Amino acid sequence: MSPWPYPRYVAHRGAGKLAPENTLAAMREGYAHGYRMVEFDVKLSADGVPFLLHDDTLDRTTDGAGPADALNWADLSKLDAGSWHSAAYTGEPLPTFTAIARWAIANGVACNVEIKAMPGRERDTGAAVAGVARALWRGAPLPPLLSSFAEDALEAAYAAAPELPQALLVEEVPPDWRARLSRLQCIALVADWSAVAADLAALAHEADYRVLTYTVNDPQRVAQLVASGVDAIITDAIDRVQPA
CA–CA distance, 192 with 233 (Å, rounded to integer): 10
The closest alpha carbon to 81, from 22, 14, 17, belongs to 22
Show which residues are catalytic: 12, 54
Q: At what angle do helices 97-107 and 24-32 cross, to 10 degrees?
A: 20
The closest alpha carbon to 217, from 190, 194, 185, 195, belongs to 194
Residues with Cβ < 8 Å from 131, sequence gap 6 or more?
Answer: 160, 161
CA–CA distance, 90 with 127 (Å, rounded to integer): 33
How far lies 210's CA from each of 4, 148, 238, in Å? Answer: 8, 15, 22
Helix locations, 2-121, DSSP H: 24-32, 73-76, 97-107
CA–CA distance, 237 with 207 (Å, rounded to integer): 31
Beta bridge partners of 142: none
State whether the Cα torsion 191-197-198-200 is positive or negative.
Answer: negative
